[in-house]
Amino acid sequence: MKRNIVIAAVTAAALIGGGTATALATTGDDGGSARQAATTQLSNDDVRDDDGDRDDDAEKTVSADVTASEAIASALKHTSGTVVSAELDDEDDSDKVTWKVDVLSGDNTWHSVSVDPSSGKVLGSQTDDEDDTARVRAALKGSSVTAEEAAKAAADKGVVTSVDLDEDGKNKSWEAETRTSGGAEQDWKIDLTSGKVTADRTDAQDDDADDADDQD
């Protein structure tokens, strides 16, 4: 289940001469992240600006003082329940980044809690309408690994930018996305009972299939 919204800008410019850049657009949906490459002719200045923007985004994400597990802990102090997802979110494509933590309370009410990534302070919360409460409850039945614990486990792989429950299919698990200091992203699966972290091969296979289709 992906409630995450990962926002990236694709910069387009008229042919001014000099330099070819490849822009990447990434969106989050129920099936995971879909990446689409588009080749655009840019001037040398535009290439530098575009690269600079991407570097700034990576640095902004990695430099968050509050980790995913700490943001989850802070959200639970504010709103008791079960955390189903947490994401470092660039809301409304603005420069302000916050942790968005989805909490399912005991009365089956969904809460979206915003946490400051610098201080860990809860900035506010709102009630959300979701139609998958039963599936989430069923997926977590018998689970011994919480979202907070999954985030801690994935932190060994890099800076955790999101953790989310995948309640679809046979092999239910926590999904986490990490980013290295160089900006490289990787998806991971965390077992709901053992906490074992493995690379998300499904995501990698989807990317390979997309590349093969593009070549055809």
**pLDDT per position as a tens digit, 48-89:** 344 444 444 445 554 579 999 999 999 999 999 999 999 998
Burial class for 134, CB neighbours closer than 10 Å (0-12, 13-18, 19+): exposed
Tokens encoding 118: 């610098």
pLDDT in tens, 165-181: 999 878 899 999 999 88
CA angle 36–41–42, rounded 5-degree value: 110
Instruction: State the pTM of this model.
Output: 0.67
User: What is the secondary structure of 21-77 as a DSSP string?
Assistant: EEEEEEEEETTEEEEEEEEEE--HHHHHHHHHHHHHHHHHHHT-SS-HHHHHHHHHH
Pair 66, 119: CB distance under 8 Å: yes
